[in-house]
Structure 1
Amino acid sequence: MTERSRGGRVGTECARALRRLVSFGGRQIQSRVKVKKERADAMLLSTLFWFSLAVPLGQTLEFQYHNTAQMEQYLHEISKNYSSITHLHSIGQSVEGRELWVLILGQRPKEHRVGIPEFKYVGNMHGNEVVGRVLLLQLIDYLTRNYMSDPFVTKLMNSMRIHILPSMNPDGFESSGRDCMYSQGRFNKNGVDLNRNFPDAFMSNAEQVREKEVEAVMKWLKTELFILSANLHGGAVVASYPYDNSNGGHELQGDSSITPDNDVFVHLAQTYSTNHASMQKGNKCYDSKDFADGITNGYRWYPLEGGMQDYNYVWAQCLEITLELSCCKFPPEHELPDLWEANKPALLAYMQQVHLGVKGQVFNSNGAPVQNASVEVEGRKNLCPFKTDHNGEYYRLLLPGNYTITVTYPGYKLLTETVSVPYDLDKFTALTHNFQLEKSASTTILEATEPTCPSPEARHRENYGAALLPSAITALSALTLHTLLL
Structure 2
Amino acid sequence: MGITSFQSLAGVTTSTDHPIQSHSTFGENEQIVKIMLSESSTFGEVINHDFSILEIDASKTYVVVYVSLTDIEWMDVMGFSYEILYENYAEMNRWDTNPALLRDFTSYAALTTQLQDIEDTYPDIAKLYDLGQSVQGRTIWGLKITDNPTVEEDEPEVRICGCHHGNELMSVELPLLLAWYLVDNYGSDPYIEGLVNDRETWIIPMVNPDGREANTRYNANGIDLNRDYGYMWDVYSDCYTQPETRAIRTHALDNNFVLSLSFHTSGDIVNYIWNYK
Which range, TM-score by smaller chain?
0.5 to 0.7
* Distance 1:135-1:204 versus aligned 2 partners, 3 A rule: closer
Whether 2:117 is the aligned partner of 1:77: answer yes
Aligned-pair CA distance for 1:205: 7.8
Cα-to-partner distance string for 1:74-125 (whole Å, 9 max, x where unaligned) = 11111011101001011101111000001000111122222x1010100011
Match of residue 262 from structure 1: none
SS in structure 1 opposite 2:263? Answer: strand
Match of residue 196 from structure 2: 157
TM superposition score normalised by structure 2? 0.60
Q: Distance in 2 between matches of 1:96 and 1:203?
A: 25
Q: Which structure 2 residues correspond to residues 84-483 of structure 1 after superposition, within 5 A?
A: 84-114=124-154, 116-176=155-215, 185-201=216-232, 207-208=238-239, 210-245=241-276, 303=277
SS in structure 2 opposite 1:138? Answer: helix
* Distance 1:148-1:190 versus aligned 2 partners, 3 A rule: same
Aligned-pair CA distance for 1:201: 4.0
Q: Distance in 1 between matches of 2:178 and 2:156?
A: 19
Cα-to-partner distance string for 1:335-393 (whole Å, 9 max, x where unaligned) = xxxxxxxxxxxxxxxxxxxxxxxxxxxxxxxxxxxxxxxxxxxxxxxxxxxxxxxxxxx
Question: What stretches of structure 1 of length at least 5 have no aligned partner?
Answer: 1-62, 177-184, 246-302, 304-486
* Distance 1:107-1:244 versus aligned 2 partners, 3 A rule: same
Preserved CA contact (<8 Å) 1:123 1:136: yes
SS in structure 1 opposite 2:171? Answer: helix
Q: Distance in 2 between matches of 1:148 and 1:230?
A: 25
Q: Distance in 1 between matches of 2:197 and 2:218?
A: 37
SS in structure 2 opposite 1:221? Answer: helix
Preserved CA contact (<8 Å) 2:135 2:244: yes
Q: Distance in 1 between matches of 2:197 and 2:132?
A: 27
* Distance 1:228-1:97 versus aligned 2 partners, 3 A rule: same
Cα-to-partner distance string for 1:258-294 (whole Å, 9 max, x where unaligned) = xxxxxxxxxxxxxxxxxxxxxxxxxxxxxxxxxxxxx
Aligned-pair CA distance for 1:151: 1.2
Match of residue 6 from structure 1: none
Aligned-pair CA distance for 1:200: 2.7
> Counterpart of 1:215 in structure 2: which amino acid?
R
- Give 1 or 2: higher helix fraction: 1
* Distance 1:191-1:203 versus aligned 2 partners, 3 A rule: closer
Which residue among 104, 108, 112 is the counterpart of 1:68? 108
SS in structure 1 opposite 2:268? Answer: strand
Aligned-pair CA distance for 1:141: 1.2
Task: From the CA coordinates, give the structure whose radius of gyration is larger.
Answer: 1
* Distance 1:235-1:97 versus aligned 2 partners, 3 A rule: same
* Distance 1:208-1:102 versus aligned 2 partners, 3 A rule: closer
> Counterpart of 1:231 in structure 2: which amino acid?
S
Aligned-pair CA distance for 1:130: 1.3
Q: Distance in 2 between matches of 1:162 and 1:154?
A: 12
* Distance 1:236-1:175 versus aligned 2 partners, 3 A rule: same
> Counterpart of 2:115 in structure 1: which amino acid?
L
TM superposition score normalised by structure 1? 0.35
Q: Distance in 2 between matches of 1:202 and 1:129?
A: 22
SS in structure 2 opposite 1:214? Answer: helix
Preserved CA contact (<8 Å) 2:240 2:246: no
Preserved CA contact (<8 Å) 1:199 1:205: no
Cα-to-partner distance string for 1:435-454 (whole Å, 9 max, x where unaligned) = xxxxxxxxxxxxxxxxxxxx
Q: Distance in 2 between matches of 1:100 and 1:76?
A: 13
Q: Distance in 2 between matches of 1:241 and 1:132?
A: 17
Cα-to-partner distance string for 1:155-207 (whole Å, 9 max, x where unaligned) = 1111101000000001111111xxxxxxxx00001110001111234769874
Find runs of 4+ consecutive structure 1 residues off by over 6 angstroms: none
Q: Distance in 2 between matches of 1:234 and 1:118?
A: 24
Q: Distance in 1 between matches of 2:273 and 2:239?
A: 22
Preserved CA contact (<8 Å) 1:133 1:166: yes
SS in structure 2 opposite 1:241? Answer: coil
Aligned-pair CA distance for 1:64: 3.6
> Counterpart of 2:168 in structure 1: which amino acid?
E
Q: Distance in 2 between matches of 1:124 and 1:151?
A: 30
- What is the CA RMSD across the aligned residues, in angstroms? 1.9
> Counterpart of 1:96 in structure 2: which amino acid?
Q
SS in structure 1 opposite 2:261? Answer: strand
* Distance 1:196-1:202 versus aligned 2 partners, 3 A rule: closer
SS in structure 1 opposite 2:258? Answer: strand
